[in-house]
Amino acid sequence: MRYYIIAGEPSGDLHGSNLVAAIKNNDAKAVFRGCGGDMMKKQGVDLLFHHRRMAFMGFAEVALNIDKVLTNIKKCKQDILDFAPDAIILIDYPGFNLRIARFAHNHNIKVFYYISPQVWAWKKHRVNQIRRYVDKMLVIFPFEEQFYRNNNVNAVYVGNPLLDELSKERRGSSDDFFKRNKLNKNDKLIALLPGSRRQEVRKMLSAMLEVVPEFPDYHFVVACAPSIDEDLCKSIIGNTPNVSLVKAQTYDVLQNSYAALVTSGTATLETALLMIPEVVCYRTSRTSYLIARYFAKVKYISLVNLILDKPVVKELIQGDLNKENLVVELNKLLNNPKHQRKLLEDYDTLRQRLGGEGASQRAADIITEMTEMSVQFKSQHSLD
């Protein structure tokens, strides 16, 4: 079978690479092309372009780069026609991928959507597009399946792929981590996760660093995502004392930390599944924030709180993301045993609610079975 797969950001690249590997388990001759990142490329996906070329976030940022976005969509559509896939696999990234879903549907190509856009949070009208153009939604949060079924969309909960990723991750000893990164093994660490996009890092890291002088007994470690140039983080850190930078070792950083300040996104869920106390942080442009606040239909922005449907982790958003609030919340995580115990109990509940491992393979099984049936159906009708 021939598959065209599109992921527009680092987390999608990670999950896309695991999905490709799982599809290969079912179909060793499968051929892949699409848009993604280094991990998908390593799994054998022939990339039209890298997700770095697609990484625009927020309303204002997208508007300023609309020509680039439309050019990318146009090139992708033509590339799909040239490749002639048996199925399209879309991973999140709705502004781009829903346009591709419509295009693929109109060209009689099977469309799978793995990792849903957050239409349950805002832009609910996109459910109509999904119902019309997507053959199967493969969702990774339990509440999403019921949401889609209530809206007459063919959806199934396959589990959460982060559980697979965390189980297969082989981390070295703490001593190895400290030695490898030239850290003092006696230091107590606090992790700073400023995001996986340049715009996020610019906005978030400077805010996070403001708390450093208030915690002299701790050493802060910035977990630089693989998609971010270290020089960007270094330029923001500057000469701030008691801060180190570690590249592409986020799980190791978290596992060796007492607490974490985490930019809203997938990392908030990863941090919770690793049982690390966290404060969720988010700040965007004023325009993007005002538009999002107007349209958003959810009580929380962090995946942890959304899944458990209660305020488990503290969310500091926009104006609330300031030094004073960060210091207060970080102190709770570090110095309030009762608060710590309750948080870890909720983390246990979170893991139970997400279920077991195997999300990538379950998704792959559905995709390969439905694609084979579609190809056979087309073949029979072409003979007729």
Domain count, the chain: 2
* Three-state DSSP state, 135: coil
pLDDT band of residue 289 (cuts 50, 70, 90) is low
CATH number, position 108: 3.40.50.2000
147 and 237 part of one domain: no
The Cα 346–Cα 235 span in angstroms is 37
Interval 56-83: pLDDT, tens: 655 555 666 677 878 999 999 999 999 9
List beta partners, residue 193: 262
Q: Report whether 197 contacts 227 (CB < 8 A).
A: yes
Name the more confident of 56 and 154.
154
**Alpha-carbon distance 268 to 347, whole Å?**
11
Residue 54 pLDDT level (bands cut at 50, 70, 90): confident
What tokens appear for 42 in the block?
A: 């390593």
What is the residue range of 224's domain? 167-354
Minimum mean pLDDT range among 20-24, 63-67, 226-230, 243-247 = 63-67
The alpha-helical segments, DSSP class H, found in 296-358 are 303-308, 323-335, 337-354
- Entry pTM: 0.85
Which distant-in-sequence residues (6+ apart) come within 8 Å of 382 by Cβ?
none
142 and 192 co-located in one domain:
no
Look at residues 280, 284, 277 and name the one whose alpha carbon lies nearest to residue 259: 277
Q: What element of type H or E holds 216?
A: none
- The verdict on 324 and 362 lying in the same domain is no
- Cβ density class 326-346: b for 16+ within 10 Å, e for less: beebbebbbeeeebbeebeeb
Residues 188 and 123 in one domain: no
Asked if 8 and 129 sit in the same domain, the reply is yes
Give the model's pLDDT for residue 55: 65
**236 and 93, same domain (yes or no):** no
Q: Based on the fold, state whether residues 8 and 44 are members of the same structural domain.
A: yes
Most confident by average pLDDT, 50-54, 342-346, 377-381: 342-346
pLDDT band at 153 (very low <50, low <70, confident <90, very high): very high
Are 217 and 240 part of one and the same domain? yes
- Angle at 94 (CA atoms; ends 88, 99), nearest 5 degrees: 60
Q: Which two tokens stand for residue 47?
A: 């990339």
For residues 127 and 265, membership in a common domain is answered with no
Q: Choose the most confident range, by mean pLDDT, from 17-21, 263-267, 299-303, 352-356.
A: 17-21
Co-location of 301 and 372 in the same domain? no
Q: Report whether 184 contacts 242 (CB < 8 A).
A: no
Q: What is the mean pLDDT of the chain?
A: 92
- Spatial CA neighbour of 12 closest among 2, 22, 20, 1: 20
Q: Greatest CA span in the chain, whole angstroms?
A: 77
Tell me the per-residue pLDDT of 263-281, one tens digit each, with 9 for 90 and over: 998 899 999 999 999 999 9
Helix, coil or strand: residue 297: coil
